[in-house]
């Protein structure tokens, strides 16, 4: 028997049975018995604004799947570009399909010279790289006028490829400018992650040789951050995309949402917290202060996950591999001690506060040499494909333009008073 609930309107005595589908009920069904009445749901805590076949997330059980594939299997066996193909097209590519896909991405990594010379180099010398990235992505819409042809399959595919390919180039260019180093052109002989590392760190050597362990670790981190259902930035992408804006403008909006410290800056907050703690000996005192309401345990807990974030387990293993190459991040011992105490303290376990993806990712990025201000930029590179998959999906669904309701709490009607009488 189909699950359902019965609702009775006490004003009329009318009863309506509403089916529960996929764990929720349709607002259209509610409106049959409550016409003109809507739900007040701040931050969309209990509202599904769309249907999506891209990512499945069960926060209670700690499950994350892309197109049905467990994140654990993809992180262990796949590559970021293969996962990107999966998210966009719904299936893993054959060897021939992947080679075409890889080649298309590789050949579109270069950015127009005027983007760099006339735009990026116009920023102030100490501009934040994430602010530069937000602006540069939006500016791309003025370089590719065909981007507005969003219902032309060929044009749409071209913009998707361009965005995935150029995000690492723009990101590295923003970093190099912010530290006063010359721009490094993409090296099309390198894989996706190694090419990005080359554009970040190359100095004067003829060819940058990325450490394969670090390149693979970065690729895994990109996989883990590729999509995460209806988070803040993905919702921004969908809302702007629903107006039929071009994908560069919509992606810039998603980047702007990611710029906020509550979203893309979370792993930076973890590093700052660990630095503030200072030593392993100070961890118990810090935990005690958090329990008393003084301070916050960064990197623990999640809006969706009520158990151990599956991505955090993968990142913890990846961290061990990275530290074998870079040497152990001095903050790692503090992080491990903090995790040990929190996971054995009823105060945190009863509140279901477990390490999330941000707890260890920042340690890895820092060990690899990335400055704190680049953390949200790295997040944006990885999440671009997830944003684009959702943008493509909403267009194929012919989704209506986003227009949520509000509860008005302002003054009642009142008459204008001339300024001399106020």
DSSP code string of 78-134: --HHHHHHHHHHSSPPPHHHHHHHHHHHHHT----HHIIIIIGGGS-TT--HHHHHH
SS3 state of residue 21: strand
SS3 state of residue 371: coil
SS3 state of residue 152: coil
The predicted-structure confidence for 269-325, as pLDDT tens digits, reads as follows: 889 999 999 999 999 999 999 998 888 888 887 767 777 788 888 988 898 899 999
Reference 129, options 29, 268, 30, 26; nearest CA is 268
> Which residue is catalytic, options 108, 112, 128, 263?
263
| Residues 315 and 70 sit within 8 Å (Cβ to Cβ) | no
Residue 175 appears among annotated catalytic residues: no
The predicted-structure confidence for 33-89, as pLDDT tens digits, reads as follows: 677 767 777 888 778 888 999 999 988 888 999 999 999 999 999 999 999 999 999
In whole angstroms, give the CA distance from residue 225 to residue 294. 31
**pLDDT band (50, 70, 90) for residue 2:** low
> Which residue is catalytic, options 175, 225, 228, 302?
302
In whole angstroms, give the CA distance from residue 420 to residue 401. 44
- The mean pLDDT of the chain is 91
Residue 302 appears among annotated catalytic residues: yes
> Which residue is catalytic, options 227, 246, 309, 358?
358
Block residue for tokens 């050597």: 205
Angle between helices 212-224 and 357-367 (to 10 degrees): 150
List Cβ neighbours of 308 (8 Å cut-off, separation of 6 or more).
Answer: 62, 354, 355
The predicted-structure confidence for 44-60, as pLDDT tens digits, reads as follows: 877 888 899 999 998 88
């Amino acid at each position: 028997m189909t699950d359902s609930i019965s609702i009775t309107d006490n004003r009329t005595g009318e009863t309506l049975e509403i089916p529960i589908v996929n764990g929720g009920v349709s607002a259209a069904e509610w409106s049959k018995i409550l016409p003109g009445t809507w739900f007040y749901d701040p931050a969309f805590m209990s509202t599904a604004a769309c249907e999506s076949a891209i990512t499945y997330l069960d926060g209670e059980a700690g499950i994350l799947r892309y197109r049905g594939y467990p994140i654990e299997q993809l992180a262990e066996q796949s590559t970021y570009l293969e996962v990107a193909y999966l998210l966009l097209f719904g299936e893993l590519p054959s060897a021939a399909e992947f080679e075409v896909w890889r080649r298309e991405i590789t050949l579109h990594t270069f950015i127009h010279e005027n983007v760099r010379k006339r735009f990026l180099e116009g920023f102030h010398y100490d501009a934040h790289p994430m602010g530069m990235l937000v602006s540069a992505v939006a500016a791309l819409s003025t370089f590719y006028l065909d981007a507005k042809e969003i219902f032309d399959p060929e044009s749409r595919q071209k913009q998707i490829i361009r965005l995935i390919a150029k995000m690492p180039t723009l990101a590295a260019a923003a970093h190099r400018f912010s530290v006063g180093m010359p721009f490094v052109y993409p090296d099309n002989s390198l894989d996706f992650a190694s090419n990005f590392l080359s554009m970040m760190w190359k100095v004067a050597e003829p060819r940058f040789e990325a450490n394969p362990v670090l390149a693979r670790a970065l690729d895994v981190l990109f996989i883990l951050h590729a999509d995460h259902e209806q988070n803040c930035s993905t919702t921004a992408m969908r809302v702007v995309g629903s107006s039929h804006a071009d994908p560069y403008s919509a992606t810039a909006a998603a980047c702007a949402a990611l710029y906020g410290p509550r979203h893309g800056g979370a792993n930076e907050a973890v590093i700052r917290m660990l630095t503030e703690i200072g030593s392993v000996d100070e961890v118990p005192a810090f935990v005690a202060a958090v329990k008393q309401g003084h301070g916050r345990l960064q990197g623990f807990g999640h809006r969706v996950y009520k158990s151990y974030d599956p991505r955090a387990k993968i990142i913890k293993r990846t961290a061990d591999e990275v530290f074998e190459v870079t040497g152990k991040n001095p903050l790692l011992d503090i992080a491990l001690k903090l995790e040990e105490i929190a996971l054995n303290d009823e105060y945190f376990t009863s509140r279901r506060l477990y390490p999330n993806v941000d707890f260890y990712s920042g340690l890895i990025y820092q060990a690899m040499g990335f400055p704190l201000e680049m953390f949200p930029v790295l997040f944006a590179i990885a999440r671009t494909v997830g944003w684009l998959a959702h943008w493509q999906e909403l267009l194929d669904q012919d989704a209506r333009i986003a227009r949520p309701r509000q509860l008005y709490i302002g003054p009642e009607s009142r008459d204008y008073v001339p300024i001399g009488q106020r």
